[in-house]
Structure 1
């Protein structure tokens, strides 16, 4: 009997580096894999990610995209992301202390403990248009939740109010950017607009900071980081999507290389 290989195979342990340069690293891998996590430099500057929400979303119509890997509700994403910031008890692993996280789709109550957050803020991405959503209810989605938090390594510092600091650029909590649609939405079912990611990255990092996205999707976080003179470290579990992220990152690097020095 002939065995047919899956169209999207699982990444091997440790993942596969699809691209590496002074500006960016893209890995096809499982972000829950300790060997993948170990490849991110400790003391990095920002965690910015959109993990699957565990809702197995289905609009009730045929769709261009298959279900997002990890969106079946079996993954405890706050706990998985804790390994990326450095779990309780670690002081040098992962994200640098007093630096920021942005996580789409989860509220602060779910994230504060696992990600060791001090101050938090509830942000809203206003997509400026109504999506399809569930067609059997009268309201269509036009926004997404984003939790911003300050990662504080020491529990005592969190209890004392450590991390209750403002972002580098203080802005309103509603960010209005049209979601990709039509032809632009063919890259990924939940693609984020690059200008939205630029807003988040510019508010919480400085030039040459390393921005990490362990659930990178089509790579919008990496593109935004590179276009604003930051560095990017991306991990994506779906091979075709990881290859797409690689191509977008390489295109952004080519654009950044043409920009005049400031």
Structure 2
């Protein structure tokens, strides 16, 4: 292990600890506001631990981009688990919303999903989305490097919005729509961090972006679930918005980081409650 990697591991308390989560996962943090689990989101026992009929699935799975920069400034980012294209993420997420044929399991019917990196056609069937499914664009307000052989640098990311409709007959009848009062533009303009600021997770999402999604699709007290939590931005946004969060992350270092960030968000939320 290189010196920077060793220092980073020590900072996160992961040195000499197992790197593969045990069956069923390990709860790193649990409170009335949030639960953070170090575990594999493909593990049936981890899936079974999620409260049924939750309010929102909001996640950014590693979708086969094989992100890896070797060494980024002070912090080395290793390849993300499951980001080699070998995992059928739509099939995995289908278990999280509730397997086909179930009604009372997983995400509540007529509630929403947000999944980064996928377009609606890839998720409509496995996630049982109604006709309101739509492609959204996160405008990062900055141009990334991407491939320097290309004349256009990446400045956006796609994500899918959908209404989970458990009944096949209901989907066939066109159910799974949303109220017109929710209607918004399909481009979300939230600045991403500059490259020098990316020091926790290579694909960390801004809390402001996640909070906009969460507040658009839930009410206070709802449970927001993220099975690919990364550094925990979904959980931080949910807690600060007065929602509850259930996070799962397979990488030990990021899972512990997510737990730390959620605890900090809970402290802020508690102070806001006292105002």
TM-score, length basis structure 1: 0.94
Does residue 231 in structure 1 map to residue 244 in structure 2?
A: yes
SS of the residue corresponding to residue 100 of structure 1 reads strand
Check the 8 A contact 2:225/2:247 in 1, yes or no: yes
Size of the aligned set, in residue pairs, is: 257
Check the 8 A contact 2:68/2:77 in 1, yes or no: no
Aligned to 1:65: 77
Aligned to 2:3: none
Q: CA offset at residue 53 of structure 1?
A: 1.1
Check the 8 A contact 2:68/2:78 in 1, yes or no: no
Aligned to 1:221: 234
CA distance in 2, matches of 1:197, 1:167: 22
| Cα RMSD for the two superposed structures | 1.8
Moved over 3 A (4+): 5-8, 61-64, 166-169
Residues 197-238 of structure 1, C-alpha deviations (whole Å, 9 max, x = no match):
011001100000000000000000000000000000000000
Gaps of 5+ in 1: none
Check the 8 A contact 1:168/1:204 in 2, yes or no: no
Check the 8 A contact 1:168/1:205 in 2, yes or no: no
CA distance in 1, matches of 2:48, 2:181: 28
CA distance in 2, matches of 1:146, 1:74: 20
Given the alignment, which residue of 38, 42, 50 partners 2:60?
50
Gaps of 5+ in 2: 1-14
Structure 1 residues 235 and 6: CA distance shift in structure 2, 3 A: same
Q: CA offset at residue 65 of structure 1?
A: 1.3
CA distance in 2, matches of 1:146, 1:93: 24
SS of the residue corresponding to residue 186 of structure 1 reads coil
